[in-house]
Amino acid sequence: MLSPDKLTFAANADLIGTPGSAAQLTTPALVLDLERFHANQAHMMGLCHAAGIKLRPHGKTHKCSRLAFEQLAAGAVGICCATPHEAIAFAKAGVGKLLITSPVVQPRHLRALTDLHEAGADLMIVIDRVDAIAAWETLLGNPERPLPALVDIDIGLGRTGASTLEQALAIGRRLSGSRTLAYAGVQAYSGRVQHINDYQERRRIYWAQLDRLEACLEALENAGLPAPIVSGGGTGTFAIDVERGLYTESQAGSYIFMDVEYNNVELFEGRNNPYDVSLTLRASIISTNVPGHVTLNAGFKSFATDGPLPELRGEAFAGARYELYGDEYGRLVLGPGQPAPRIGTCVELVTPHCDPTVNLHDQLHVIEGDTLVDIWRIDGRGVL
Ligand SMILES: Cc1ncc(COP(=O)(O)O)c(C=O)c1O
């Protein structure tokens, strides 16, 4: 009989702290380069300080409470969460100051979040319909500690958010009269524009969307409801958000990791992107039997495939390119005359789209230089 501990496969934990262990990881392994992460985080913090705005980075990018703590320690005023489960996982780990950026409508989600709030967790929510407010109020019992809420405004994405000024005003008025919810300001996020590669083109389209936010902020102000918090924006619109000056804080998320998609976006006009890729997927060559390509152990189940293809990091296999080749497989198509790398060779790939790729993995392998220094659980992963 096999003993249960022989059946457990704690991949890579034994390598923590061993010099050179980054090269020995069992793969596929999602790897975070800690120095590059810290450099990206510090750069973003510096930009926020210089612009006089706060940073409430989006936790949907990493879904990892350990990483959220790093961001708070670096000066973030809070962490955004896209789903109730993200918020619950982060709160359970002790992360404070959580803003749930999507409307919450399902009874069990509402119950779980109001329970968390009543238990002392530091939460903030968004509201995009007047009639959503009553559902929260029936569950919230304590007027001494109202739950802060932002009016979610749709400035052009058409995903969530009040779509008219009147709707936004009605929500603001209703929140300000609530006993158990507290009007805290406004959220406005526009998704698709983030990835318009050309800076001027992105600025042109987004600027018109920001007009809607400005009109809304004015209307709220005139109604006696100035917005203490104006939260939104992402990595792609950061420079434009700063130039326009409407937001009190940025919700940027992807700047910590970067990916193939964002590497193609001109984040700041006429400049190289200041953020380096800190997140990669390490895969291994498992077959070399066919001339012209070698097979890797990372495919659809290792990468989110909504974006471009994964790209090779560095110059190690210059001339080759990665192609998806099945659920568990990819292949490196070799350049003309390029010798095939040996079986077992480790290949480092930049993820196409960081957020949904992280969601496929249980853990982040944290490296410093060539050494695995820790493994962080992606405790907010999942879709709930
Ligand atoms: C509401 C909201 N805010 C902020 C972000 C972060 O954007 P980015 O990852 O482009 O920085 C997202 C990403 O989808 C989002 O949905």
Phi, psi angles (nearest 5°) of residue 304? -70, 140
- Report which ligand 1 atom has the smallest distance to the Cα of 194: 10
**Residues lining ligand 1, judged by CB closer than 6 Å?**
58, 60-61, 80, 82, 101, 189, 191, 194, 234-236, 251-254
Can you list the domains of the chain with their CATH numbers? 14-31+274-377 (2.40.37.20), 34-263 (3.20.20.10)
Phi, psi angles (nearest 5°) of residue 253? -130, -50
Query: Could you tell me which residues come within 8 angstroms of residue 147 by beta carbon, excluding any fewer than 6 positions away?
Result: 114, 117, 123, 124, 125, 136, 140, 180, 181, 182
Residue 268 near residue 236, CB atoms below 8 Å: no
**CA 311 to centroid of ligand 1, rounded, Å:** 22
- Report which ligand 1 atom has the smallest distance to the Cα of 191: 14
CA end-to-end span of the chain, whole Å?
A: 38
**CA 88 to centroid of ligand 1, rounded, Å:** 19
> Which residue, judged by its Cα, is nearest atom 7 of ligand 1?
234
- For residue 219, the SS3 value is helix
In eight-state DSSP terms, residue 162 is B
Tokens representing residue 252 in the block:
């940027």
**CA 191 to centroid of ligand 1, rounded, Å:** 7
Separation CA 119–CA 104 (nearest Å): 19
Give the E-state strand segments of 204-308 in sequence order: 229-232, 249-250, 279-287, 293-296
- Report which ligand 1 atom has the smallest distance to the Cα of 251: 4
CA angle 183, 187, 188 (to 5 degrees): 150
Residue 339 near residue 333, CB atoms below 8 Å: no
What letters, b where the CB count within 10 A reaches 16 and e where it falls short, cover 191-203? eebbbbeebeebb
Instruction: Indicate the top mutation candidate among 58, 190, 358 to test ligand 1's pocket, ranked by most ligand atoms within 8 A of CB.
Output: 58
- Report which ligand 1 atom has the smallest distance to the Cα of 102: 1
pLDDT in 10s for each residue of the chain, 384 residues: 666 666 566 689 999 999 999 999 999 999 999 999 999 999 999 999 999 999 999 999 999 999 999 999 999 999 999 999 999 999 999 999 999 999 999 999 999 999 999 999 999 999 999 999 999 999 998 899 999 999 999 999 999 999 999 999 999 999 999 999 999 999 999 999 999 999 999 999 999 999 999 999 999 999 999 999 999 999 999 999 999 999 999 999 999 999 999 999 999 999 999 999 999 999 999 999 999 999 999 999 999 999 899 999 988 899 999 999 999 999 999 999 999 999 999 999 999 999 999 999 999 999 999 999 999 999 999 988
**CA 3 to centroid of ligand 1, rounded, Å:** 45
**CA 59 to centroid of ligand 1, rounded, Å:** 9
**CA 108 to centroid of ligand 1, rounded, Å:** 25
Tokens representing residue 265 in the block:
């976006």
